[in-house]
Chain A
Amino acid sequence: MTAPPASNGQPLQARAVDDEGRLVLTLRVNGQQHRVRARTHHTLLEVLRDQLRLVGTREGCGVGMCGACTVLVDGNPVSSCLLLAALCEGRELVTVEGLQADDGGLDPVQEAFVDHTAFQCSYCTPGFLLAAKALLAEAPDPSAEEVKEYLAGNLCRCGSYVKILDAVLDAKQRLSQQP
């Protein structure tokens, strides 16, 4: 898991706030622009859930240790509980809701998770899907050990790990066979 993006070394610009002290932000999530209002301490997780109602992103620990709130930020898996919403302008954000095609078709990683039943309570599933997605984009042919290493920051208390590993390795095959 890569560290949350900093502000590219640039000092944060003084920003206009509304009369409740909230910043007006423009976030690009799942390919769409959204205007949201957030206080400076609000995390991306809070904004995604509470304002955009993208509830597939979930808090598990609040300290970046469990991976349940993983989203993709410019393609990198990031714990959205640790990332301030105000730092996300200009970034390309993807949540689990963005994996499904407009016509309802599943992403190959999602398909593989369904076919292997790689979940039980499935609270952690969006985080695993996005981490797996990032892994397969970074390294199209990971070994089982590499998959485990990459997914070690995502926790599944139901312990569906055997099926998750099978699903990710299967998704790798599916993606490699795509034109």
Chain B
Amino acid sequence: MSVPRRADGAGFSGMVDALARVTGRVGYTIDLELPGMLHAKLLRSVAAHARIARIDASRARRLPGVVAVVTGEDLAGRSDLFPWFGPIFRDQPIVAIDKVRFVGEPVAAVAAVDLDTAQEALGLIEVEYEELPAVFTLDEALAEDAPLLHEGPPRLGQAFPDVIVNPEGGNVCNHFKLRKGDVDAGFAQADHVFEDVFTSPATQHVPLETHACVAAVADGQITVWAGTQIPFVVRSQLAEIFKLPLSRVRVIVPTLGGGYGAKCYPKIEPVAALLASVARRPVKLHLTREEEFVTITKHAMRIRMRTGLLRDGTIVARQSTCHFNTGAYADIGPRLIKNGGYGTGGPHAIPNLRVDSYAVYTNLPPAGAFRGYGINQAAWAYETQMDMIAERIGMDPYELRMRNFLNDGDTVMTGEPMTDSHFHELLDSVSSKIGWDFRGWDAEPERRGSKVRAKGLSCIIKGTVTPSTSTASARLNDDGSLDVLTSAVEMGQGLKTALAILAGERLSLPVRMVAVSEPDTAVTPYDQQTSSSRSSFSMGGAVTIAVEDVRRQLLEHAAELLEVAVEDLELEDGTVRVAGAPDRAIGYGQVIQRSRAGNLLGSGTFQTQGGLDPETGQGIGSVHWHQAAGAAEVEVDLETGRVELLRYHAGVYAGRIINPVQAELQTEGNVAFGVGQALFEEMVYDHGQLQNGNLGDYMIASIKDMPAQLDLTILEHPEPTEIHGIGETSLPPVMPAIGNAVYRATGVRVTDLPITPEKVLRGLRERHGRETPAAGAVADTGAP
């Protein structure tokens, strides 16, 4: 697996804090311990939808060692608090107020001197529930007489510039519309129209570090250390809850033990801060794995996709109706349905596109951001349908894709022209590496005993949040070292390293002379979010501008000291020199010392522009478009239905590669993530009660689930400032590439993720039943 190394870059490949990471010293939120710190536990609802008829925490409050207990009743009486949170709709209570909406929702919180005591106290809290009818599926939630999760119009917070708010009442939390061209005319023009339905389940992010927070509240000042991807939204929501100015809320973010979207937006910070304010002592809250599972999930989804094509395979119209099960609270669902909705247009030039995408409330744990952000679900639908269509019209699925790809100048689904398109190149690369060799839909798969092998392809497009804003500061010290102050979050993606490389090369400093901060909202400047594969691009842009600002000042001071014009100076390895006169040079530190500047401060603001019309979903959907392709070879055991991924080839367009090894790691990591989503990850509920919320029953990919051969094509752009995110891009192709390969191997088309052995066997039995009347002769090796 090799990625060409840049000769002209900083030449650094690795992670700046590697030593801390292999010695166990890197320091997560869970490692923090403050003097007098208490430990918190949450009592969680056992009912899916119920009125809280009575809650009595008096015995818990009397237990020695218990310092604070909070219930919904306590919140109701406090005019100094606004007890609701949520990034778009303020619909989630800090702990349940009057009613519960899912099994696992916190109904009371305890802070005690140790965890044993806090746990014991939970058992002393009595709750009486008056059960209400509950809805778990999309159909139940959308039924005409369905019980409502939330009544009345939503409480809206400060607007996100890219979010279109269109709650339609009932259990419809939000509705995103896209109207491009004339979809009716498009279907009228079509020679073929195909309609299929695709579904995928809720899954969990499973960051190995579960949600954790330490909160301290004193003298009108809140400080939280939180494993969050979005410190500035956590700050603004805590300020709103506690009715404080933003400047009185400080959010510090130690490195994260994984995020993948789970740690976007407030989750446990409000309840930890509330306990700390009641206890007047610092409080630590660290969720168990079982609690993590009911804190946030990927959206379960159903997409009905109707696609019209001309006889030659050109797509002329598509209509998608997307329903995302957003659980009991909106979280970021109202925004995610936009990406998941417009995403169904895919990397295809479709002139007529109509999308209706809905977030639907149900009595399940809230769903929110998840690596891929709606595109996993969308791509599962359109890339599976591409193969289904290819078979129906008798085409090579590679050809069908190639024929329809967006080229530069074509309008993308959100209406702006495509630029910098690489779909043909990506699909060509992965298909040739996997040895794509289409010999017709009726060609027999390669067979060895009970095992069959075949290959599948896919290709996707993904946007990044637009418009968006990142800001950063840079500080050149009087020894010539550089501090970069940023609120972008390190969660394993190597952002600190990427920013150190970008900053260092602008100022001709080696990475070891650059320190990149942790986010601390009291010190580090604003950043919108560490998600959406945006940080190397957006924060990288802000840091670059800040360092340019420092560089300009450095050159001006040096020009004065060396008595030459700025234009005659150059920077090399921490030294300012007069071009062509190597003996006339001065170190950065000396420039600062001799000019008595103290330090040189630079600031940078990086903004992107765009946004969509609320009625048509047209405008600028993404500042640039992330592109990836995948090619899978699977082996399916016809006796057990088990699918093994033998080989995978991932192709992704990276723009500039900043840190080669990290680019590989993120792409390989997406394959590991995708194998789980494709083959086994699924949260299973029974009447709202999660059945597999632990790592014994919910599997994630181990080293043995990785394909024996994994190859990467990471396409690079020659321009060093052209940076695209790759944190998520190569994930969405994995599931449909595997699904398409399984179909070619077995003739079983699974449209509902994950592709379990049970589904494959059931499909094989159905096929067998169709093909031979003696279906009874097939041994029932089926589902347990």
Contact = CB atoms under 8 A, between A and B. Distances in A.
A56 B31 CA distance: 9
A114 B672 contact: no
B289 A162 contact: no
Q: Of A39, A57, A125, which is in contact with the most chain B CB atoms at under 10 Å from its CB? A: A125
A121 B208 CA distance: 9
Contacts of B26: 122
B116 A39 contact: yes
Contact of A122 (B289, B492, B710): B492
Contacts of A96: 22-24
B61 to A, nearest CB: 21
A97 B668 contact: no
A53 B30 CA distance: 11
B258 A149 contact: no
Interface in B461-495: 491-494
Interface stretch (A6-14, A59-67, A83-91, A134-142): A59-67
A140 B652 CA distance: 38
A152 interface: yes
A164 B669 CA distance: 12
B22 A149 contact: no
A17 interface: no
Q: Of A54, A56, A99, A122, which is in contact with the most chain B CB atoms at under 10 Å from its CB? A: A122
A60 B661 contact: no
Nearest to A112: B22
Interface in B180-238: 205-209
Given A55-B24, A55-B31, A163-B665, A62 B289 contact: yes
Contacts of A151: 702-703
A68 B208 contact: yes
A80 interface: no
A55 B31 CA distance: 6
B713 to A, nearest CB: 15
Contacts of A52: none
Contacts of B30: 55, 58
Given A117-B15, A157-B207, A149 B704 contact: yes
B291 to A, nearest CB: 10
A118 B2 CA distance: 15
Interface string A137-156: 00000000000110111111
Nearest to B24: A56
A162 B668 contact: yes
A161 to B, nearest CB: 4
B129 interface: no
Contacts of B701: 155, 159, 161
Interface residues of B, number: 57
A61 B26 CA distance: 20
B19 interface: yes
Nearest to B30: A58
A149 B260 CA distance: 27
B23 A124 contact: no
A117 B668 CA distance: 13
A151 B664 CA distance: 21
Contacts of A154: 702-703
A116 B21 CA distance: 13
Interface in A83-116: 95-97, 99-100, 106, 110, 113-114, 116
Query: How extensive is the interface on chain A, given as a class?
Result: 35 or more
A126 interface: yes
A152 B705 CA distance: 9
Interface stretch (B333-341, B350-358, B616-624, B692-700): B692-700
Contact of B695 (A60, A97, A122): A60
B25 interface: yes
A58 B206 CA distance: 15
Nearest to B706: A161
Q: Of B22, B290, B694, which is in contact with the most chain A CB atoms at under 10 Å from its CB? A: B22
B14 A120 contact: no
A54 B258 CA distance: 20
A117 B665 contact: yes
A121 B492 contact: yes
A117 B706 contact: no
A120 B665 contact: yes
A47 B25 CA distance: 17
A61 B289 contact: yes
Contacts of B695: 60-61, 63, 65-66, 155
A120 B18 contact: no
A126 B664 CA distance: 22
A97 B492 contact: no
A79 B661 CA distance: 30
Nearest to A99: B23
B256 interface: yes
B257 A152 contact: no
A97 B257 contact: no
Contacts of A54: 24
A120 B260 CA distance: 12
A123 B208 contact: yes
A159 B668 contact: yes
Nearest to A164: B703
A56 B23 contact: yes
Given A121-B491, A164-B703, A165-B703, A60 B22 contact: no
B255 interface: yes
Contact of B209 (A58, A100, A106, A153): A58
B631 interface: no
B492 A120 contact: yes
B24 A95 contact: yes
B247 interface: no
Contacts of B207: 121, 123, 157
A54 B31 CA distance: 9
B673 interface: yes
A160 B256 contact: no
B132 to A, nearest CB: 32
Contact of A120 (B206, B669, B696): B669
A90 B22 CA distance: 27
Nearest to A39: B116
A89 B372 CA distance: 47
B441 interface: no
Contacts of B209: 58, 60, 121, 123
Contact of A56 (B25, B694, B706): B25
A29 interface: no
A72 interface: no
B28 interface: yes
B23 A158 contact: no
B288 interface: yes
A162 B23 CA distance: 20
Q: Of A148, A157, A162, which is in contact with the most chain B CB atoms at under 10 Å from its CB? A: A157
A62 to B, nearest CB: 6
Contact of B672 (A99, A110, A161): A161
Interface string A10-48: 000000000000000000000000000001000000000
Contacts of B33: 53
Given A58-B209, A158-B492, A114 B696 contact: no
Nearest to A163: B665
A157 B700 contact: yes
A160 B673 CA distance: 11
Interface string B6-32: 000000011100110111111110110
Contact of B22 (A55, A110, A159, A162): A110
A61 B704 contact: no
Nearest to B25: A56
User: What 5 A-B pairs are tightest by C-beta distance, nearest first?
Assistant: A56-B24, A159-B672, A121-B492, A123-B257, A159-B669
Given A157-B207, A164-B703, 17 more contacts: A56-B24, A60-B289, A62-B288, A63-B289, A63-B696, A65-B696, A106-B22, A114-B22, A122-B492, A123-B258, A125-B24, A126-B24, A151-B703, A152-B704, A156-B672, A158-B672, A162-B668
24 contacts: A55-B24, A55-B30, A55-B31, A56-B25, A57-B24, A61-B289, A62-B694, A63-B289, A65-B696, A97-B24, A110-B22, A114-B14, A114-B22, A117-B661, A121-B207, A121-B491, A121-B492, A124-B208, A125-B21, A151-B702, A154-B702, A155-B701, A159-B673, A163-B668
